[in-house]
A = this chain, B = another copy of it.
Amino acid sequence: MIDCSAPGKVYLFGEHAVVYGEPAIACAIDLRTHVSVEERSDDIIEITAKDLELKAPIARTTIDTREGIKLEGCLDSLNSFDYIRASCDKVFEISDQSKGVNIIIESDIPVAGGIGSSAATTVATVHALLKLFDIDATRREIADIGYSVEKEVQGSASPCDTFTSAMGGVTKVEPNVSLKRLDKALTDFSFVIGLTGKPSPTSKLVKEVKELKQKNPDVILPIIETIGKLSRRGETLIKEGRFEEIGELMNVNQGLLESLGVGSDKLSNLIYSARKTGALGAKITGAGGGGCMLSLVRSSDANTVSNAMEIIGTSKVSNVESEGVRLE
């Protein structure tokens, strides 16, 4: 049995703008998805994923029929099983062989939109399957494979999610330019993540922002560019450990996300609740609409902020995770 895990992530700056080539700053968090794989004697792929809020927690198929064939038990239109199936495809292709395999997923990452559950699942699955075939790969290579899996499943994807999950730590993603890990820990600071309990329909929201931009380019383009500036400024502030200013600019970023139309009343309530109870800054993380928000807090304030949020939704306290995908 091979057990690998990979962390979830949050966006400190830059979601949505990253779609238009602006940089984004993400950060791995200490909530992880574990993927265990073991070879079977037959040609069946059986996936068990009890924590991923799937209508059926077990999916099954044979290797022969896997391509283009709905996994048994896979009832949702697009769900975690698709990422696992596509990861199998990709690794079978890379290794030029296939095996029947049991895949068991256990995850601490809420399936909530914006905190990287699918990227962590993908990256950990890829790593575990590569290990099963005895193929060595660097974290960066795993990130790239994970990205191609996400692109295949979603049609398009941000390289940020799989990169951050694979590499760990704080990362800067500049599409078509570079992905890099910033060597800075956010010691003494924690995140409190607020969950709305409502889905965050990423592709719908990305489309709506695109339409808004097409209708009002002279207004929306500068907003997108300004989000990019926040990411660049955020990079400097992170390197210099200037957390109060990071929080302040997270709040500015939140307003700009609101202006793109991806806010919601529940996200707003969680955000104001965090700010009122001591957060240095609070904003949507991910595509918005529903999903999650992120607050940056002094670790000593984490419980106070979290308790206040629990009145509105649910919350998770987490910290920067410096280690990316790993063999357990």
A226 to B259, CA, bound (A): 11
The listed residue (B219, B253, B273) touching A230 by CB distance below 8 A is B219
- Contact of A198 with B by CB under 8 A: no
Query: Which of A251, A260, A264 lies at the interface centre, i.e. has the most chain B CB atoms within 10 A of its CB?
Result: A251
In the complex, chain B residues whose CB is within 8 Å of the CB of A256: 223, 255-256, 259
* Any B CB within 8 A of the CB of A87: no
Majority secondary structure of chain A interface residues (helix, strand, loop or mixed): helix
Contact B261 A272 (CB under 8 A): no
Contact A222 B226 (CB under 8 A): yes
Residue of chain B at shortest CB distance from A257: B255
Which B residues are CB-close (under 8 A) to A261?
251-252, 255
| A233 with B259, Cβ < 8 A, contacts A223-B226, A268-B268, A272-B265 known | no
Within 8 Å CB of A264, what residues of B? 272
CB of B254 within 8 A of CB of A258, answer: yes
* Cα A219 to Cα B251 with chains together (Å): 12
Judged by a CB distance under 8 angstroms, whether A269 is at the interface is: yes
Contact B269 A216 (CB under 8 A): no
Beta-carbon contact of B265 and A216 below 8 Å:
no
Residue of B nearest to A230 (CB): B219
Q: What 0/1 readout, one digit per residue, does chain A (269-290) give for beta carbons within 8 Å of chain B?
A: 1001100100000000000000
8 Å CB contacts to B: which residues of A262-319? 263-265, 268-269, 272-273, 276
> 6 tightest CB-CB pairs across the interface, nearest first?
A255-B259, A255-B258, A265-B272, A268-B268, A252-B259, A222-B226
8 contacts between A and B (CB under 8 A): A219-B229, A222-B225, A222-B229, A223-B256, A226-B226, A251-B259, A253-B259, A254-B259
